[in-house]
């Protein structure tokens, strides 16, 4: 498996991304990673890799890309001036236009707007899909997960786009989690039919009579608290709402783990309880840690692209690469095409 990496996109700099890539290569012997960025800078970072990660450097291929897309750049700037950026060259190689041969997926922690715009230009969308959506999985109460989309690719979405997101999210849950008929809901401010924006109400009416009912079970409206209850598999919203929900959930999870730990350690008796409860606390921290869920899919593109959180450190970027690997293993774009073509 070969995955292309945009080394210059993250807030933490190339080192975090290269260490995360080296960890992925170390843990997966069949993986080759192509690193796009200034070659001298990448090679210099190789010399700083801790042992035994340095042993994995033989499967990290340096692909020179002299420039990068700044995090404050607009999508229009990226389209006009970013052709020789690490992000654009990574995507062009993924499309098969570079000298690097077949590449299975791409991963970037860079500017979201630029990544969506460049991905649409370099890769194109699948037949019948107008715009890609960013989707990720969040943990639920029953130990499973719920797919949330969109997370920022489309800030203000009309009803027809929300319906497309529902079909794509259901296909994702079917393909990756083997859920025969995923339960799909629209995120809203209440369960009543009169609640919500016009686009959400229109999408609700369309989904209730949608011809793809054999692909998913539409549940109506879901409120914020329903995301973690385990009663729905896919929750659909526009990108503004989805991004706010995701970032709030990540912050809440981090705070809860810290507060629980602080309560146990605040008194002598608490310290003893903390020692006894340490295995359970560690398991809770692992389950809630947003780092383990880093990596969001750009659903609807012709190829697999995963967006890492811009602030992700090495461990988080490693999980974004793992997310890309899972999508390659499930041949996600082809699964989406097959389900889209099965619609009446």
Q: What is the pLDDT of residue 269?
A: 54
Q: What is the pLDDT of residues 115-171, one digit of tens each?
A: 999 999 999 998 888 889 999 888 888 778 899 998 888 778 899 999 989 999 998
- Does position 196 have pLDDT exceeding 90, yes or no? no
Q: In what order do the strands lie in the sheet with 234-236?
A: 60-64, 32-37, 2-6, 105-108, 304-307, 296-299, 133-139, 145-149, 234-236, 183-187, 217-222
Q: What is the pLDDT of residue 271?
A: 58
Structure tokens at 194: 């009169």
CB-CB contact of 16 with 314 (8 Å):
yes
Of all residues in the chain, the percent with pLDDT exceeding 90 is 46
Domain segments of the chain: what residues? 1-130+300-330, 133-293
CA distances from 197 to 37, 161, 200 (A): 43, 14, 5
**CA 274 – CA 327 distance, rounded (Å):** 39
Banded model confidence at residue 108, pLDDT cuts 50, 70, 90 = very high
H helices present in the chain, as ranges: 14-27, 39-46, 75-81, 86-94, 112-123, 159-177, 198-208, 239-265, 268-288, 314-329, 332-341
**CA 24 – CA 32 distance, rounded (Å):** 9
Q: Structure pTM?
A: 0.86
Q: What is the pLDDT of residue 57?
A: 81
Q: What is the pLDDT of residue 286?
A: 57
Q: What is the pLDDT of residue 122?
A: 94
Domain 133-293 class? alpha beta
**CA 106 – CA 334 distance, rounded (Å):** 16
> Average pLDDT of 284-299?
70
User: Among candidates 93, 97, 108, 157, which has minimal Cα distance to 131?
Assistant: 157
**CA 227 – CA 147 distance, rounded (Å):** 9
- pLDDT averaged over every residue in the chain: 85
Which range is most confident: 127-131, 155-159, 233-237, 291-295?
A: 233-237
Q: What is the pLDDT of residue 288?
A: 56
CATH numeric code, 1-130+300-330? 3.40.718.10
Banded model confidence at residue 340, pLDDT cuts 50, 70, 90 = low
């Amino acid at each position: 498996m070969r995955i292309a990496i945009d080394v210059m996109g993250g807030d933490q700099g190339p080192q975090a991304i290269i260490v995360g890539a080296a960890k992925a290569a170390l843990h997966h012997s069949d993986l080759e990673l192509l690193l796009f960025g200034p070659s001298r800078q990448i090679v210099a970072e190789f010399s700083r890799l801790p042992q035994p990660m340095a042993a994995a450097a033989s499967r990290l291929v340096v692909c020179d890309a002299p420039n990068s897309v700044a995090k404050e750049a607009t999508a229009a700037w990226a389209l006009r001036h970013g052709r020789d950026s690490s992000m654009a060259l990574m995507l062009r190689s993924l499309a098969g236009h570079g000298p690097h041969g077949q590449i299975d997926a791409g991963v970037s922690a860079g500017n979201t707007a630029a990544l969506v715009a460049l991905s649409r230009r370099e890769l194109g969308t699948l037949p019948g899909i107008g715009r890609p959506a960013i989707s990720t999985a969040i943990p639920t109460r029953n130990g499973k997960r719920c797919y949330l989309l969109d997370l920022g690719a489309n800030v203000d979405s009309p009803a027809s786009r929300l319906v497309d997101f529902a079909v794509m999210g259901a296909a994702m849950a079917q393909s990756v989690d083997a859920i025969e008929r995923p339960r799909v809901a629209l995120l809203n401010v209440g369960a009543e039919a009169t609640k919500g924006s016009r686009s959400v109400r229109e999408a609700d009416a369309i989904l209730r009579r949608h011809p793809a009912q054999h692909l998913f079970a539409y549940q109506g409206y879901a409120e914020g608290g329903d995301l973690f209850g385990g009663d729905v598999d896919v929750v659909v919203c526009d990108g503004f709402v989805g991004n706010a929900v995701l970032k709030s959930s990540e912050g809440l999870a981090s705070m809860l783990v810290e507060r629980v730990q602080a309560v146990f350690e605040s008194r002598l008796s608490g310290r003893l309880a903390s020692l006894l409860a340490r295995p359970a606390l560690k398991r809770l921290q692992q389950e809630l840690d947003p780092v383990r869920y880093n990596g969001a899919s750009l659903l609807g593109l012709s190829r697999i692209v995963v967006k890492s959180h811009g602030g992700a450190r090495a461990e988080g970027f490693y999980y974004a690469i793992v997310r890309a690997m899972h999508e390659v293993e499930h041949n996600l774009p082809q699964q989406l095409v097959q389900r889209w073509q099965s619609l009446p």
